[in-house]
Amino acid sequence: MPDTNVNVSDRVTLQLPPFWSEQPKKAKQLLKFEELSDRQQASFCDIFEAWKRKAFGFTISPTSESIRCAGTYILYSIPNESEIKFVRDSVHFNKMAPKLYYNEVSPPVRSVLLTAKAIGLELDLEQINLFAGEHLKPEYLKINPQHTVPTLDDDGYYLWDSHAINKYICEKYGQNDSLYPKDLHKRGTVDQRLFFNAGIIQPRVGAIVGPIIRQGATSIPKENADNLAAAYDFLETFLEGHEYIAGDSLTIADMSIIASLSGIVHFVPVAQNKHPKLSKWMNKMQQLPYYVEANQVGTDKLVGFLQSKLA
């Protein structure tokens, strides 16, 4: 769970939307939540979420009722109508992070860890020992009958599949839509790349890794390596004229695909001369400030395990 001893200033300043000027102007006014108009209440909830992200680094999705019951006050200063100040001492709420059932050797898990880091979302991590069969226990099957990792528990709402989880946490907890754009054309491209990862890359990686883990294979068939290399060709094309997999900015498509590739490229390398754009993109992803913690550590464990099984 997140550290409850958070060092923040007593007051946090945030921007107000223009329509807050509808409030009658007074030199200084202390308002309760229930004294606000419906529109201002909705706006306050959004601003309150942003404040928590800024002050504490994560959110808990409060309802209007929970804010009201907490006795939150708004110090509304005139004439400076562009700012709102929350007095920290008057705000009380449970700091509850979404729980992620995970094992960091899993590439899909690591894609979620990358996305969470990118949006500043703290996760309550619960390790699932796959080799001990913890994912097959009745209590885990109850929340995820497909017994896969990762699985997200967001206050009793259970969601699995890394692509779905990444979209969900960006929509709910992201401070903006940069990682998963609302623009339909941009979002369509991101979705296409996610489906490419789910339908092409992951199965082809699985065809290599699965037999090593489950069947004791000690070598990689050339056909399987060639199939994966063909996927590299597509990625090289996707990157034509672009810095990232789905365009010119970082998105969850990059998170998913780098997590899928970062381990397997030790066994089916990305050739610099044949895939220069893909190689450059992978290097760029490795420069993310949270990359080592969120992806490299788990990748190294997976690679070490696979190398120990190969002849």
Predicted local confidence at residue 147, as pLDDT: 98
Structure confidence at residue 225 as a pLDDT band (50, 70, 90):
very high
Contact 126, 101 (CB under 8 A): yes
What is the DSSP secondary structure assignment for residue 70, as one 8-state letter?
T
Query: Crossing angle, helix 162-173 and helix 252-264, to 10 degrees?
Result: 140
Is residue 71 exposed (0-12), middle (13-18) or buried (19+ Cβ within 10 Å)?
exposed
Which has more confidence, 118 or 3? 118
Question: How does pLDDT run across 36-93, given as a tens digit for each residue?
Answer: 667 766 766 666 666 555 544 444 344 433 333 233 444 433 333 344 444 333 333 3
Predicted local confidence at residue 15, as pLDDT: 46
Predicted local confidence at residue 87, as pLDDT: 35
Question: How far is it, in rounded angstroms, from Cα 105 to Cα 167?
Answer: 21
pLDDT exceeds cutoff 80 at 167: yes
Options 77, 106, 111, 178, the catalytic residue: 106
Question: How does pLDDT run across 266-303, given as a tens digit for each residue?
Answer: 999 999 999 999 999 999 999 999 999 999 999 999 99
| CA distances, 56 to each of 62, 71, 178, 308 (Å) | 14, 19, 21, 42
The average confidence (pLDDT) of the chain is: 81
How many CB atoms sit inside 10 A of residue 284's CB? 14
Structure confidence at residue 155 as a pLDDT band (50, 70, 90):
confident
Q: Output phi, psi for 147, to 5 deg.
A: 45, 50
Bridge partners of 12? Answer: 86
Question: How far is it, in rounded angstroms, from Cα 201 to Cα 11?
Answer: 48
Predicted local confidence at residue 175, as pLDDT: 85
Which has more confidence, 36 or 108? 108
Tokens read off for 246: 């789905």
How many CB atoms sit inside 10 A of residue 210's CB? 13
Question: How far is it, in rounded angstroms, from Cα 139 to Cα 274?
Answer: 47
Predicted local confidence at residue 14, as pLDDT: 42
SS (H, E, C) 271-304: CCCCCHHHHHHHHHHCCCCCHHHHHHHHHHHHHH
pLDDT exceeds cutoff 70 at 152: yes
- Please confirm, yes or no, whether 106 is among the known catalytic residues: yes
Quote the pTM value: 0.72
pLDDT exceeds cutoff 90 at 16: no
What domains are there in the chain, each with its CATH number? Answer: 11-90 (no CATH), 99-173 (3.40.30.10), 184-309 (1.20.1050.10)
Contact 275, 232 (CB under 8 A): yes
